[in-house]
Amino acid sequence: MTLPHGAVETPVFMPVGTQATVKAVPQQLLEELDVRILLGNTYHLYLRPGHEAIRRMGGLHRFMSWERPILTDSGGFQVFSLSDLRKVTDEGVAFRSHIDGSSHFFSPEHSMDVQIALGPDIAMAFDECTEYPADRARARASLDVTLRWARRSKDHFEAHKHGAPWAQPRAQSTELRAQEQPGHTPSLFGIVQGGMFADLRRECAERLVEMNFPGYAIGGLSVGEPRELTREMIAATLPLLPVDKPRYVMGVGYPDEIAEYARMGVDMMDCVLPTRAARHGLLFTSEGRLNIKNRQYAEDQGPADPNCGCMVCRRYSRAYLRHLMAAQEPLAAVLNTLHNLAFYLETMRKVREEMAGASESAS
């Protein structure tokens, strides 16, 4: 996948950098981990420091000093999950900031304006993330809103994407516009909703594909449903999404889940799990999950994961990582996050290798 700020090998796991930072980790160390693409949260950045401020400072890449690709979400998911007193109409969503209670309104058009100001490589359509559980009528209504918003998102985005801080100015003549190189503006992906109803998912996918997005996401998963259902919805939707365009499942998952979905054909995934769990002392390893706070590790001189060659496992013992948690040291979050991200990235690297091997032996 070639994006304006660089190439990304797929399938890829994208660490979440909510507030223009992957919590606790310096960008230099993300580069050393070979992170190729980060996710930024539009809702958070809109509230603080503000998308106009970021635009004035040259966009999100420059603001956070990250020259590799960035994907921004639409803000929709956070509006629904974090803010207070939201009111959804066909026009958009009124909500109050979780920081100071101030009133705000996001429409598809406004979400596009905010994302364009941030200037990601990939922006996401403004959708309604259907809650779980939702009955068929509710999922249907929610899907219809998402489809109308997808159309409005795309129309507004196409008309204004050249306004991204780093984008090429729009060529004046039709002739020149036809020559526009890909990669000089952000791209907008559509998002499939439909609750836990396979036929609604398929319908949504088909309708979005008609709109011809350069990539597609499957949203509204990992919202509390059993994992079998997550996989079922992905399996029902994927075949309807063009195989030659990126297919992204939002907000998943555990290491074995991301490997499984990648093998099913998913190209991109993101999740706060590796970073959030790390801050609570939960480490993902080749031998399973490890709660580094446990007393049993107090004098364990082995690395977090004996099969991991990351910068944390090469240098620090379980005993040291446990001490940092017990002593409430900020370095705990730094090192635990580095290890978990390394484990997630390595998981995807292995799947890529495995898939390359499979396609080689098939040819």
One of 1, 124, 223, 324 touching its own copies (CB under 8 A): 324
Give the Cβ contact number of residue 46 at 10 Å.
26
Beta-strand ranges (E) seen in the chain are 2-3, 6-7, 12-14, 38-40, 70-72, 84-88, 93-96, 103-106, 122-124, 187-192, 216-218, 247-249, 268-270, 282-285, 288-291
Pairing state between β 38-40 and 122-124: unpaired
One of 7, 53, 141, 176 touching its own copies (CB under 8 A): 53
Contact 352, 290 (CB under 8 A): no
One of 2, 7, 34, 48 touching its own copies (CB under 8 A): 48
Q: Does 280 contact its own copies by CB under 8 A?
A: no
One of 6, 9, 19, 94 touching its own copies (CB under 8 A): 19
Pairing state between β 2-3 and 103-106: unpaired
Active site includes 155? no
The CB-of-44 to its own copies minimum distance in angstroms stands at: 8
- Looking at residue 296, the DSSP 8-state letter turns out to be G
User: 188 or 312: whose CB is closer to its own copies?
Assistant: 312
- Three-state DSSP at 81 gives helix
Residue that has been written with the tokens 């919805």 in this structure: 233
Q: Does 25 contact its own copies by CB under 8 A?
A: yes
116: left (phi over 0), alpha (psi -120 to 50) or beta: alpha
Stretch that binds its own copies, among 88-96, 100-108, 231-239, 327-335 (CB under 8 A): 327-335
One of 9, 23, 293, 349 touching its own copies (CB under 8 A): 23
Torsion sign (Cα): 52, 54, 56, 60: negative
User: 24 or 164: whose CB is closer to its own copies?
Assistant: 24
Active site includes 270? yes
Out of 34, 73, 90, 144, pick the active-site residue. 73
User: 84 or 295: whose CB is closer to its own copies?
Assistant: 295
Residues in the interface with its own copies (CB under 8 A) total 40
Out of 121, 127, 270, 305, pick the active-site residue. 270
Stretch that binds its own copies, among 53-61, 156-164, 186-194, 281-289 (CB under 8 A): 53-61
Q: Does 283 contact its own copies by CB under 8 A?
A: no
- CA pair distance 266, 243, nearest whole angstrom: 10
- CA pair distance 72, 60, nearest whole angstrom: 10
- CA pair distance 26, 61, nearest whole angstrom: 14
One of 49, 163, 183, 265 touching its own copies (CB under 8 A): 49
Q: Does 114 contact its own copies by CB under 8 A?
A: no
- Compute the CA torsion angle 313, 318, 323, 326 (nearest 10 deg): 110
Residues 6+ apart with CB under 8 A from 165: 55, 58, 59, 62, 117, 119
Give the Cβ contact number of residue 211 at 10 Å.
16
Q: Does 315 contact its own copies by CB under 8 A?
A: yes
User: 27 or 291: whose CB is closer to its own copies?
Assistant: 27
One of 199, 256, 299, 354 touching its own copies (CB under 8 A): 299
One of 91, 210, 256, 329 touching its own copies (CB under 8 A): 329
The residues of the shown chain that bind its own copies, judged by CB under 8 A, are 19-21, 23-29, 44, 48-49, 53, 56-58, 63-65, 298-299, 301, 311, 315-317, 319-320, 323-324, 326-327, 329-331, 333-335, 338
The residues annotated with a catalytic role in the active site are 73, 270
